[in-house]
Amino acid sequence: MYQAPEPFKRCQNPHCTRMFAPRSNKLFCSTRCKNKYHNDRNRDPQNPQVQKIKRLKANEDILARIALRMDLDQVPKAILKYEGYDFNCITSQTTNAATKAPVHWIYGLGIEKNKDGNTYTIHLAP
C-alpha cells in the first residue's frame, strides 16, 4: 500500500530555520545543528539541569579528593561540610548489605553515614 510522504518538519534548534524530511526519531536537521543546540543549552548557567550536573561533579571531586589525598576510612562530617559537599545531590542510592545503611552514590563514588552520625565512609563502585 502506498504511503504519502510526510510533510517537512522544522528543526528543533530555535536558531535554525531549515526544514527537513522527518524520521520518527529525528529532531534536528543535521548533527552540527543538534550539537549547537545542546552546547548552547548546556552553556546556560540558569538551566536547572546544568546546575545539577555541576553540583554532582563538585560532589564527586570532593569525595575523590578526600578518598585519595586523605586516605581516611572515616571522614568527619565537618570536613565534608567545609569542602562544600551537598548531601542532597546524588545520582542513586543503594543499601549496604553488611550494615543495612543507605549508600548515596555520585557516579562511581558512594558515601555512607556511620552509626555515630558524625562520620561517613566512602565507597568505590565495584
Q: How many residues does the chain have?
A: 126
Direct distance between the N- and C-terminal alpha carbons of the chain, in angstroms, rounded to an integer? 53
Does the pLDDT value for residue 2 go beyond 60?
A: no
Mean pLDDT computed over 8-23: 85
CA dist 74 and 112 (Å) reads: 10
Q: What is the pLDDT of residue 3?
A: 59
pLDDT of residue 111: 92
Report which DSSP code applies to 28. Answer: S
The tens digit of pLDDT for each residue in 70-123 reads: 666 688 999 899 999 999 999 999 999 888 999 999 988 999 999 888 899 888
Whether the Cβ atoms of residue 16 and residue 29 lie closer than 8 Å to each other: yes
Q: What is the mean pLDDT of residues 1-23?
A: 78
For range 53-61, the mean pLDDT: 91
Is the pTM higher than 0.85? The answer reads no
Triad 88, 90, 93: Cα angle to 5°: 110
Tell me whether strands 75-76 and 109-113 are parallel, antiparallel or unpaired.
Answer: unpaired
pLDDT of the residue at 43: 78
Pair 58, 40: CB distance under 8 Å = no
CB–CB of 86/55 below 8 Å? yes
Distance CA 36, CA 60 (A): 27
